[in-house]
Structure 1
């Protein structure tokens, strides 16, 4: 009876819901798993209760199934019992209030300190001086100030009532407009100030800038502009940074938010001041900032493995155990 119900449901999703063939195949696999577990419990599919679903979900989790995979299985089972309810075969959906275990929040990708410095100090001899000055200043602001790319491209050359943000070189700070319309002041370091000074010295040497002022005076006030004289877009920053990081010899392309993560991680490694990092990043909740403490622990663990004599003994005597941990 159970296999007949499953075949009827698969026909339903194939014909009436018109799901893709691969999706139907996956549904068949997940429903076979459900039927096997119900049979092992000597129970018809129609009599499965929420407690059984929770137990079987725990078994999947204990067997090493990832949270995302369990969520897909539960989604399939939930749809199956919803259909059975519409067919008057069950009174309630036993999967309705069952959810997969919460997945671990992925660690943000941050550069090693040496790689971040190499990118910041890179000089592209093949680029024209105007583009090189602009892109160098962009890297220094992203890594030196921890700006979001939206905050970076929103900066104007000077303060005004309509400016979303600007840099005050004399004061050594930038005012940016972050998420939720919240403004914050961010210190601008010496290297970023030098790069910005060099960029501002050549910024107006753009033939299209005057025409851009006539078309869009507000856009032409942007700190960072393209060759067309218009405000540099976030997409353009992504592209320029990707090219620059590869030319700098980094092992993988870099995106703007990776430099923000690097700023936070490296600052936390040096200062251990979580509250200060929160303020500099503009996080409303400190729990958002706490993810960088996990990166900091990874940094400490690597230092321990590289330097502590007992760590060296462990790595030399138990290489197989270490190898089995790494794929997880």
Structure 2
């Protein structure tokens, strides 16, 4: 809908107390948090100022006006997420006005914020990833330490999703979702869309798995688990009760292990997958190979790691190039 040419649209706003009544509604009836009500008040005051500047009463605001105001916010450098929050507030306000019979349509209904850029995945630096993988806690239970060390090595060394890791069995079978072949130094996993792929395994991961398998059957609860659920007890990574480890358990152990390693931020399973992809790409520059290793159906999904790689290259440039220092000094 275009901007109205109705003469009434050029009249100053009559300042109805609609905004105040709406804020009372969200505070009392919807019971929104005080901070949220404050943000609503701020965004609606902005709406009122835009309408007053355009000499429009609030019930004369049209979709074209809203789009123009959002374009102004975008041009001023407002982030897409911030614009989306403003639109959400305005949209809710006009929806309430419609329910109250005060406007005939919602001018914000079909207005959307600019598409936000895809955030970069969080990846560890090489040194931090190695520190996590090589962590050894002499005070920990040896059985648990062997298992947790193998989990870190497989996640980082193979780039697996946590569901692919927990789906691994000790040996191949018709019912296994995945398994490892230490002789061939590879893992067979079932990824998204039930697509199977073979992932090569590095020497460190294979060594850690051999150490784990040497003590795995010492689990005190394994005999009972085999009687209760033989298939679950056949998992490569098991809990102290002899059952297949859950994704939540892997998240928890990685968080605890990263804190023990003294890393700046807690590590989660997908961060190790991102680290695997980023480090392989930095060394090889072979995007297609990384796509295959990760099991991405679309290479566009893998291309996000080229942005991580560029950040790495930019840091190397700034640290090593004789003219980079001059550039930094100029920016200060």
Is 2:149 the partner of 1:115? no
| Mapped partners of 2:181, 2:297: distance in 1 | 24
Residue in structure 1 matched with residue 54 of structure 2 by the alignment:
41
Q: CA deviation at 1:319?
A: 5.2
TM-score, normalization by structure 1: 0.92
Q: Which moved more, 1:120-129 or 1:93-102?
A: 120-129
- 2:266 counterpart (247, 253, 257): 253
| Mapped partners of 1:294, 1:260: distance in 2 | 16
Is 2:44 the partner of 1:31? yes
SS at match of 2:150: helix
The RMSD of aligned alpha carbons is 1.6
Is 2:326 the partner of 1:318? no
What 5-or-longer segments of structure 2 have no aligned partner?
A: 1-13
Residue in structure 2 matched with residue 234 of structure 1 by the alignment:
247
Is 2:214 the partner of 1:198? no
Aligned residues: 319
Q: CA deviation at 1:18?
A: 4.2
Residue in structure 1 matched with residue 184 of structure 2 by the alignment:
171
Q: CA deviation at 1:246?
A: 2.1
Q: CA deviation at 1:86?
A: 3.4
Q: Which moved more, 1:151-160 or 1:112-121?
A: 112-121
| Mapped partners of 1:111, 1:23: distance in 2 | 35
Q: Which moved more, 1:279-288 or 1:136-145?
A: 279-288
Is 2:287 the partner of 1:274? yes
Is 2:152 the partner of 1:156? no
Structure 1, residues 264-301: CA drift from partner, whole Å, max 9, x if none?
00011111111111111111211111111100000000
Residue in structure 2 matched with residue 287 of structure 1 by the alignment:
300
SS at match of 2:323: helix
Residue in structure 2 matched with residue 225 of structure 1 by the alignment:
238
Q: Which moved more, 1:84-93 or 1:272-281?
A: 84-93
- 1:298 counterpart (302, 311, 331): 311
Is 2:18 the partner of 1:5? yes
TM-score, normalization by structure 2: 0.91
| Mapped partners of 1:116, 1:19: distance in 2 | 42
| Mapped partners of 1:18, 1:191: distance in 2 | 55
- 2:88 counterpart (75, 78, 92): 75
Is 2:76 the partner of 1:63? yes
What 5-or-longer segments of structure 1 have no aligned partner?
A: 321-328
Cα–Cα, structure 1 residues 56 and 226, in superposed 2: closer, same or farther, change >3 Å? same
Structure 1, residues 27-65: CA drift from partner, whole Å, max 9, x if none?
222111101111111121121121211111122223332
| Mapped partners of 2:109, 2:27: distance in 1 | 22
| Mapped partners of 1:210, 1:157: distance in 2 | 16
| Mapped partners of 1:91, 1:20: distance in 2 | 29
Cα–Cα, structure 1 residues 175 and 22, in superposed 2: closer, same or farther, change >3 Å? same
Residue in structure 2 matched with residue 186 of structure 1 by the alignment:
199
Q: CA deviation at 1:15?
A: 4.3
| Mapped partners of 1:232, 1:11: distance in 2 | 49
Q: CA deviation at 1:311?
A: 0.4
Residue in structure 2 matched with residue 323 of structure 1 by the alignment:
none
| Mapped partners of 2:294, 2:54: distance in 1 | 53
Structure 1, residues 99-138: CA drift from partner, whole Å, max 9, x if none?
1111121111101111111222222212122112111111
Residue in structure 1 matched with residue 11 of structure 2 by the alignment:
none
